[in-house]
Structure 1
Amino acid sequence: MSKDNLKILQLIDTLDTGGAERMAVNMANAFFEAGISNLLVVSRSNGKLHHLVNNKSSLRLLGKRNTLDFKAFKSLISILDEFNPDILHAHGTSVYWGVGIKFLRPGVKLIWHDHLGISEEVIQKNPRNELSWIGSKIDFVLTANESTKSYWEQKKLVKSERIAFLANFPSLSKVEKNKPSIFTFLHLANFRSEKGQVNLIKAAGILDKKGLDFRVRLIGKEVDSIWKKRVLELRKELELEEKVSVEDSVMDVSNVLSEVHSGIVASDREGLPVALLEYGLADLAVISTQVGQCPEVLGHGEFGKLVPSENPESLALEMERFITNPQDALKLGEDFGKHVSKNYGSAQFLSGYVKLVDELFNLKKSEN
């Protein structure tokens, strides 16, 4: 199918700040720039990120109050009937309403975009076994990392040829760099336990005891209030209030990225964090835990430093190397920026996406 004839309707719960939400916005903008007819339907609330959608006329808000909000679901049906998309692209938990649509409008192809990183903890706490009951209604599963792809292949949610990993891609506004004199690290992630803010604060405590001068900025939405409280308490306990700032999420991260020297991923598990790719576009030197697709994106250490998760000593060691050798960090960031621009841009994503859509329609023909 030619991209000129393709019509895509994305469905996502909110446009609050988060990796899946940023990807939905990036995809909407990439589709628009490529001339692909598309809508971005938001179930519950627009959030801060809706301002970043370039084509505002493609946005729809359902005002969904709960899972069984039939009024909102009826609105979705009306939008779908009017737009008549080839693809219904459901992000995360929106797959459940996507399956509901398939029962009523079986002609539309349902792609489920699973952004969740897989770990033993996730499998135990959230195995999502209920998806096996509705897997027959999902036409294609798109994952943000190879491990999640392998997980769904093993679970046989759909046929293996209907599961693919397609790397996320970043998008930033162009702003002038405004670096402070003190070496500054950025951790861009919502406040949830798996994002590793406590690990990073412990590492900062180790550096502080050595008398090093640095700053750490933790920026993200409060998703887990108990976790954020723990982060704030640890910062106070280690007397790091002057060196570690805890900030709310921002609509456009471009300015923040221009004000720091290094980006950190401290997570216990990940898919492919959009923040990591944004660090690359901003030419930041990166330190990341060895989770999800992060090692692959960083060339297994060629374009950034890799450390074990939940290991503040290892994280502190690499942070110290950046602080004491800022020119080396600068060069590493520039190399990473070139790597991301070449391999993880919107053009690469669109090419892969259109290819898998073609395969999806060809699979359907061969099965009929």
Structure 2
Amino acid sequence: MRVLQLIDTLNTGGAERMAVNFANMLSTQIEGSYLCTTRSEGLLKENVLNEVSYLFLNKKSTLDFRAIKKLNRYVIQNKIDVIHAHATSYFLATVMKLLNPKLIVIWHDHYGNSEFLEQRPQFVLKKCSKFFNHVFTVNKNLEAWDSQHLLAKKVTFLSNFVSPDTNLAITKLLGMSEKRMVCLANLRPQKDHINLLKAFEIVIEKHQDWTLHLVGKDFEDDYATEVKNHIFEHQLEQKVFIYGSCKDVSQILQSCDLGVLSSKSEGLPLALLEYGMAGLPVVVTNVGDCDKVIASTEEGVLVAPENHEALASAMLILLENNSLRQQLAENLKYKVQNDFSARKAIKSVIEVYKSYKK
């Protein structure tokens, strides 16, 4: 079996990391594992194993006929059986299906605004979904929405899994050792960094030696400007540090002491799983499937979204109780290693691929 993972970019987002994870893991499990990036490359390209055949289309528009021909030629030459399209790459996968009717098309729905699905654009997606053999979703909300609104033959939930990077530590973190909290999230509005910054301001009134480290892609847009302006206007420049996209995420997390997420909406955040694998205690907002990971108060702390006072209160509880932090971290790491393993996810995916191959 030959399977192509299709993704728009290789920036350090959750969907992109999962596409690379699948391509890498499948390279030892099936005849051929392929990865195609359609629009732009990024830091994650360095994480792609040599065993994975890689193609970059440099697609310039939705109907870039040069890119379509290039991918179609690649599919035919490599005798691709399955296209596993992630996130917004579903349209190109649909075009490939029209050109190659025997292709199996799997769509992986990573939609991050799963708390606001009533606002989701669906016209083109619904038309394309007629050609999907199967849909995977990253949480139960998406599974229910896709089952109701799309025309795909089958929709199932597939949990994200974590695959730590093996890059050497290159990022020098500021702040005091053992006094660092980290937020691993691209600078996007749904991640609600402003809520986190307001909570952190409350925290450092009592604990001035703690620092906050923001790791994730800076799109240099209005939202990023808003975050930076808030840091400047509230005189947090010596307490809050922005690093942008980083290659050595696993090593960064090992150098931190508390993982936080303050999102308004999520699917199942890969960052939360990465916190667990790194042995961090966590405080996260109760959105998406975060409560499937933090299923009890023994595994972490869940708080309501868009409530900086509740977030600050939870952060203070953990900052002021070292033994509680250690216990929560141990429990979460055990949970992630056992319930969100790559091996289990890959086995499920291969079974779905095979079920459609005649």
Q: Same fold (TM over 0.5)?
A: yes
User: Any idea what SS the aligned residue of 2:282 has?
Assistant: strand
- CA separation of 1:76 and 1:316: change in aligned 2, threshold 3 A: same
Would you say the 8 A contact 1:214–1:323 is kept in 2?
Answer: no
How far apart are 1:58 and its partner, in Å?
1.2
How far apart are 1:149 and its partner, in Å?
0.6
Q: What CA deviation, in whole Å up to 9, does each residue of 1:74-129 have, x standing for no partner?
A: 110011001112211111111001111111101010001110034453432x3322
Structure 1: any 5+ residue segments left out of the alignment?
Answer: 1-5
Taking the aligned partners of 1:123 and 1:72, their CA distance within structure 2 comes to 33
- CA separation of 1:36 and 1:312: change in aligned 2, threshold 3 A: farther
Q: What aligned pairs does 1:1-368 form with structure 2 within 5 A after superposition?
A: 6-55=1-50, 58-119=53-114, 121-124=116-119, 126-159=120-153, 162-173=154-165, 180-223=176-219, 225-361=221-357
Q: What is the one-letter code of the residue matched to 1:344?
A: F
How far apart are 1:176 and its partner, in Å?
9.8
- CA separation of 1:257 and 1:341: change in aligned 2, threshold 3 A: same
How far apart are 1:298 and its partner, in Å?
1.4
Taking the aligned partners of 1:174 and 1:142, their CA distance within structure 2 comes to 27
Q: What CA deviation, in whole Å up to 9, does each residue of 1:334-357 have, x standing for no partner?
A: 211111111111101112112222
Q: CA RMSD in A?
A: 2.0
Taking the aligned partners of 1:145 and 1:8, their CA distance within structure 2 comes to 23
How far apart are 1:33 and its partner, in Å?
3.2
Taking the aligned partners of 2:292 and 2:220, their CA distance within structure 1 comes to 29
How far apart are 1:181 and its partner, in Å?
3.2
Would you say the 8 A contact 2:24–2:52 is kept in 1?
Answer: no
How far apart are 1:270 and its partner, in Å?
0.6
- CA separation of 1:36 and 1:343: change in aligned 2, threshold 3 A: farther
- The sequence identity of aligned pairs, in percent, is 36
Would you say the 8 A contact 2:82–2:105 is kept in 1?
Answer: yes
Taking the aligned partners of 1:35 and 1:341, their CA distance within structure 2 comes to 24
- TM-score with structure 1 setting the length: 0.91
- TM-score with structure 2 setting the length: 0.93
Taking the aligned partners of 1:284 and 1:94, their CA distance within structure 2 comes to 33
User: Any idea what SS the aligned residue of 1:316 has?
Assistant: helix
Taking the aligned partners of 1:234 and 1:225, their CA distance within structure 2 comes to 14
- CA separation of 1:307 and 1:248: change in aligned 2, threshold 3 A: same
Structure 2: any 5+ residue segments left out of the alignment?
Answer: none
